[in-house]
Amino acid sequence: GAVVSQHPSWVICKSGTSVKIECRSLDFQATTMFWYRQFPKQSLMLMATSNEGSKATYEQGVEKDKFLINHASLTLSTLTVTSAHPEDSSFYICSAEGTNQPQHFGDGTRLSIL
């Protein structure tokens, strides 16, 4: 099946630093990529949608300047959490969708801000 790779799987950093998470579609061209956040025992919460070469569309309540999304190619999207604080600690998951490909998810990134 289609594979979406997400890196890193776990990151711990100090408050105030920025963290970049990468999401790659390994065997198909991702026309659209999505970034989700998931709190313990809850379902996925969509943060933003991005199409290759264009600006991301953010969901209501998601700070654009806090969560920077870049979708520079058909196989790569990045999420940068800027000036991260403890309240940004969460499980972040990307997904990718292509022509005739439903959304496939990465394995998630566990972000812990100290």
Partner 1 sequence: QKEVEQDPGPLSVPEGAIVSLNCTYSNSAFQYFMWYRQYSRKGPELLMYTYSSGNKEDGRFTAQVDKSSKYISLFIRDSQPSDSATYLCAMRAIGAGSYQLTFGKGTKLSVIP
13 in contact with partner 1 (CB under 8 A): no
Q: Residue 53 or residue 102: which is nearer to partner 1 going by CB?
A: 102
> Which of residues 2 and 82 has its CB atom nearest to partner 1 in the complex?
2
CA neighbor of 50 nearest in space, from 106, 104, 94: 94
Among 53, 61, 86, 102, binds partner 1 (CB under 8 A): 102
What residues numbered 35-64 form the site for partner 1, per CB under 8 A?
42-44, 46, 49
Residues that bind partner 1 (CB under 8 A): 1-2, 4, 6, 32, 34, 42-44, 46, 49, 91, 93, 95, 97, 102-108, 110
